[in-house]
Structure 1
Amino acid sequence: MNSFPYQPELPYERNTAFAYDERQPVHGQVTWTYGGPVTKCEMPWSENNYMTVAVARNSPYRCGQFIRLRNIQAPYGREVVVKVVDEVEDYPPNRLNIHRNAFEALGVNPNVGVLNVEIIPASDSQMEGWGARLLHVVETAYPGYRIAEYHLLTKTKISNTAMKESYSFKLQSSQGNLDIQGDIIYNPKANRLSSFQIKEI
């Protein structure tokens, strides 16, 4: 796996215990990589629209798990949801190696090399289930665009048999950038799609 070579001195000791609480975000760092053809999880780096990550061997995160990352440097508040597809050696648990596309989606130049983030476990991530299906619809509707960022806006119970979820997508291409909102209504009891729509905003 080809990682960005810049390795600054870490602001924490490698033997420091990692206080993991799935209810709370933790501070950590991300570096970036282009990934490789073989992964420990047997999942390609192209999973989840290249929003993917390699974690330390002693990390609490597992193959296939989703993790939300929030940029706590400028530009503040940019978020991505990444999927665990690989492991990386010699990293502490709160240092992650994400795909370059995900690094750029956090709003920073890859030349930065290392970025401080909040790490938020998302085992019930908004991009699992119906959100992931809507993401594929957006990808199909806008060929040539890359989904740089996406997140859940609202989740509303319409009735006992109808839930509505709304998502925001930021798309990038050489033609320019687009902001898309997607709405999906489904029956949670039958796990069946009722309707969906996407629109440029």
Structure 2
Amino acid sequence: MYYQQPNYYYGYYPYPVPAYRVPEPIPTDEIQRISGEATWTMGGESTKCGLSWSTNNHMTVAVGNNSPYTCGQRIRVRNPETGKAINATVVDTVHGFPNNRINLHRRAFEALGANPNQGILHIEIEPVRDEEEGRKGEYLQEIVQTAFSQANVRGYDFLGKTEDTSSFVTENYNFFVQTNEGDYSVRGTVSFHPESDQIAALNLEII
């Protein structure tokens, strides 16, 4: 049994859904974590952002139409109960959602260690800062997902970058990989020329 709005499907929630207080807007130039709630969806063929729900290996999210988070922006969503976190890409908006409520793709919901049958998940939300992004995170994530095709890559942390004397930039990432047997991390390193975008070296290592 599901709650249903156009293009959105929510897991059954057996109790009356409490009213949501709309918090003060989050300044986009400040980093702060807020507590909120997440539901889940299987997505739809079209989104208000023009981005597919399959973006970022389905680590995707819809936010309120007045949210400070914008289309294509990545936000960090954490389940305080399990400690699991993902970086989700904003691909859609939902009219009337307060700033502390989001709608995750089902795969993202499950990547947080949640059972879809619970319907609503208490989470923490914060924007991913520019310095946490790097340039090659999504590129490398696609390669990790291909290399570990039977697993689910649920996000990554940007660990930093270095520049060498040959003008190449090296970026380091930690990818979170989820399997039926358990979770593990993959360290990814990619070196590239910042102007031509030419890839010089790439390395993946299970840690």
For normalisation by structure 2, the TM-score amounts to 0.81
In 1, the alpha carbon distance for the partners of 2:86 and 2:33 equals 15
Q: Which residue of 1 aligns with 2:82?
A: 75
| Residue 101 (structure 1) shift | 1.3
In 1, the alpha carbon distance for the partners of 2:47 and 2:128 equals 21
In 2, the alpha carbon distance for the partners of 1:39 and 1:189 equals 33
In 2, the alpha carbon distance for the partners of 1:168 and 1:113 equals 29
| Residue 69 (structure 1) shift | 1.8
Q: Superposition pairs for residues 48-197 of structure 1, below 5 Å?
A: 48-71=56-79, 73-76=80-83, 78-122=84-128, 124=130, 126=132, 129-159=135-165, 161-174=167-180, 177-197=183-203
Pair 175,105 (structure 1): closer, same or farther in 2 beyond 3 Å: closer
Q: Deviations over 1:64-108 (max 9, x none)?
A: 12112233x2223x2211111111123112211111111222233
In 1, the alpha carbon distance for the partners of 2:112 and 2:106 equals 10
| Residue 9 (structure 1) shift | 1.5
- What are structure 2's unaligned runs of at least 5 residues? 1-7
Does residue 18 (structure 1) correspond to residue 35 (structure 2)? The answer is no
Percentage of identical aligned residues: 37
SS in 2 for 1:54: strand
Does residue 43 (structure 1) correspond to residue 30 (structure 2)? The answer is no
| Residue 128 (structure 1) shift | 6.1
Q: Which residue of 1 aligns with 2:4?
A: none
In 2, the alpha carbon distance for the partners of 1:177 and 1:156 equals 28
The one-letter amino acid of 1:43's match is L
Pair 165,121 (structure 1): closer, same or farther in 2 beyond 3 Å: same
SS in 1 for 2:117: helix
In 1, the alpha carbon distance for the partners of 2:69 and 2:184 equals 32
Q: Cα RMSD between the aligned structures?
A: 2.5
SS in 1 for 2:138: helix
| Residue 5 (structure 1) shift | 4.3
- What are structure 1's unaligned runs of at least 5 residues? none
| Residue 124 (structure 1) shift | 2.6
The one-letter amino acid of 1:18's match is P
Q: Which residue of 2 aligns with 1:2?
A: 9
| Residue 126 (structure 1) shift | 4.6
Contact 2:59 2:155 in 1 (8 A): no
Between 179-188 and 107-116, report the one with greater CA deviation: 107-116
| Residue 178 (structure 1) shift | 4.4
Contact 1:70 1:106 in 2 (8 A): yes
The one-letter amino acid of 1:75's match is T
